[in-house]
Chains A and B, each alone.
Chain A
Amino acid sequence: MNQFTAMVKARTMEFVRDRATFFWNLLFPILLVFGFSFAFSGNQDTLFKVGEWGTPSGADPFRDFHTIEEIDFISYGKDQSLDELLKKLRMHQLDLVVDYRDKQISYNEESVNAPILQRLYSAELKGSGWKEESVQGAPIRYVDWLVPGVIGMNMLFSCLFGVGFVIVRYRKNGVLKRLKATPVTAMGFVSAQMVSRFIIVLLTSVFVFLGTNLFLHFMMLGSYFNLILLTMLAILCMLSLGLIFAARFKSEELASGILNLISFPMMIFSGVFFSLEGTPPIIQSLSKIFPLTHFIEGARAVMLEGAGLVQILPQIGILGAMTVGFLLAAAFLFQWD
């Protein structure tokens, strides 16, 4: 056995034998997925959502509807194309789209909310020259949307703590010092840690996905190959991020405090549990600095929109660039003691 495989093996055994951590890593995301699936199994949206594109020229035939409290009106136009709106409609994020420029309303035939809205709007339209269109798209359940988020979040914690925290612990208790006294290089040690953690996180993610999919049958419009590719890249990226924290800290408490401090905003502002759409622009731009955001975006695109490799290239590019940046920073900062 060579140095490298011996270290990967030892680290992996350590993880598997640390029962508490091991089961927590598997059980937590599974419980979360099932819990949310159960909690949101009803039709969660009692509100009707109408997307309006452009502004009315002349009198607005639907002006009176704006006083109905049960309808949520979202105005688009500057930074979104009509196609994007229609996509949201197909994905059940909107119940009806009003296109003021071409004088047309569109609704999703498969939406539970559509018929009532459509009737309401049609009544206003008789003889006004407006057209009606319908689109199709199966409803996306909250779990379908949530599962990439939960798996991504689990990846994040497992990577940050599994590399960041564990190396700090090794440094504090002297295991690192003992290794420094052998011919093992810092590079060899760190890459062994990364490889071991990579395998662990990839396997747990696949396991959690397959395990919950067995019962929940997630929507999967894209290819599994792309999903796995994106997952592997995201794991690598988060491991590299964890490595930056592993580079210097000597105290486990400090390391875990700081890791928590950064992972919580990541969890909240990467769109794990709720869509960032409609949040203040500052939060949306903030979310772009987190690798998790890009993974979740990409994974949702693959699963829910059937995005191919070309469509997720931006996410792949960003995750790749972040990985390189993090690795360089970690290599620059790393010290044994």
Chain B
Amino acid sequence: MKPILQIKNLSKSYGNLTAVKGVDLDIPEGICFGLLGPNGAGKTTSIEMMEGILSPDGGEIRFRGKPIDRNFKKKVGIQFQSTALPEFITVRETLELFSAFYPDPRPMEELIELCSLQDILDQDNRKLSGGQRQRMLLALAIIPRPELVFLDEPTTGLDPQSRRNFWDLIQKIKKENTTVLLTTHYMEEAQMLCDRIAIMDHGKILECDTPDSLLDKHFQGVLIRLPAKGGALPPGAELQGDWIHMQTTDLDSSLKKLLAEGHDLTGMGIHKPNLDDLFIKLTGSTLRE
């Protein structure tokens, strides 16, 4: 499919810190695209350049094949990682205010329904809980019926139930043929929602593909995890913190070999590789803080 957003060689420095170093990305239309990476990887910096909020030091951003123009902001929805809301006005009034900014805003009832805002409509913006606030910010992002919506860590701070509701909501938005670009620290979420993911670290894209292709590319078979107790590493295994990690396509013989070598298998875990494992493999760090 033709990309809705094309990014070429994007870069940005703060003083002598290069936050984004030559990022190339194609975001196909109608999909949910996940940008993953550890803290400080450059996700927010990249996404804010794509949103037209930060000006890049170098590189090119094209929306539907053309450079970003004045109408871009009417067609995209944006949720920042952290943002303030106007003070002394209620949720309803804030929604009304932002609705006035767009040519064809989504009706209020639909917004309230989609983002479950019924109970907080008359609450002052400043008195919202973390999760209520996230829902409200998401509502603001989808007011314009965006063709493309940018969500920077939309589920950070949500309880498991709210996170699930959010996932449903994203599925609904996708059905309207809205392209979703989100960053997240939750691999489960990326696996659940994203059709494509890019893994970023130190300002560079390390990998970009569908979650399944990435897993196929980097892992074969299953993963064995053992508590490290000193002594020699089994052949083909890696030490990651207090754990020994091993990949195998033949679980039977691997286990037999470990036993034969006299390893204590207490506390062992075996699982199919997931994005968490991929993430750790690529960035050498865990996503969740």
Contacts and interface: CB of A to CB of B under 8 A. Distances in A.
Interface in A140-184: 170, 173-175, 177-178, 180-184
Contact of A6 (B74, B84, B101): B101
A178 B85 contact: yes
A337 to B, nearest CB: 8
Interface in A1-23: 1-3, 5-7, 9-10, 13-14, 17-18
Contact of A13 (B83, B88, B100, B101): B88
B78 interface: yes
Q: Is the interface of A mostly helix, strand, loop or mixed?
A: helix
B93 A10 contact: yes
Q: Is the interface of B mostly helix, strand, loop or mixed?
A: loop
A180 B83 CA distance: 12
Contacts of B87: 14, 18
Looking at A1, A13, A170, A181, the one whose CB has the most chain B CB atoms below 10 A away is A181
Interface string B166-198: 000000000000000000000000000000000
Contacts of A180: 53
B281 interface: no
A178 B102 CA distance: 14
Interface in B70-85: 73-74, 78, 80, 82-85
B125 to A, nearest CB: 10
Interface in B86-100: 86-89, 93-94, 96-98, 100
Contacts of A183: 73-74, 101-102
A321 to B, nearest CB: 33
B88 A17 contact: yes
B83 A174 contact: yes
A13 to B, nearest CB: 6
Looking at B74, B83, B96, B101, the one whose CB has the most chain A CB atoms below 10 A away is B101
B140 to A, nearest CB: 8
Looking at A3, A7, A10, A14, the one whose CB has the most chain B CB atoms below 10 A away is A10
Contact of A10 (B51, B89, B102, B140): B89
A181 B78 contact: yes
A177 B83 contact: yes
B88 A14 contact: yes
A313 B140 CA distance: 49
Nearest to A173: B84
Contacts of A18: 87-88
Given A6-B101, A10-B89, A10-B93, A174 B73 contact: no
Given A9-B97, A173-B84, A181-B80, 10 more contacts: A3-B101, A6-B101, A7-B100, A10-B86, A18-B87, A177-B53, A178-B84, A178-B85, A178-B140, A182-B98
Interface of B: 51, 53, 73-74, 78, 80, 82-89, 93-94, 96-98, 100-102, 140
19 contacts: A6-B97, A7-B100, A10-B89, A10-B93, A13-B93, A14-B88, A14-B89, A17-B88, A17-B89, A18-B87, A174-B84, A177-B83, A178-B80, A180-B53, A181-B53, A182-B98, A182-B101, A183-B73, A183-B74
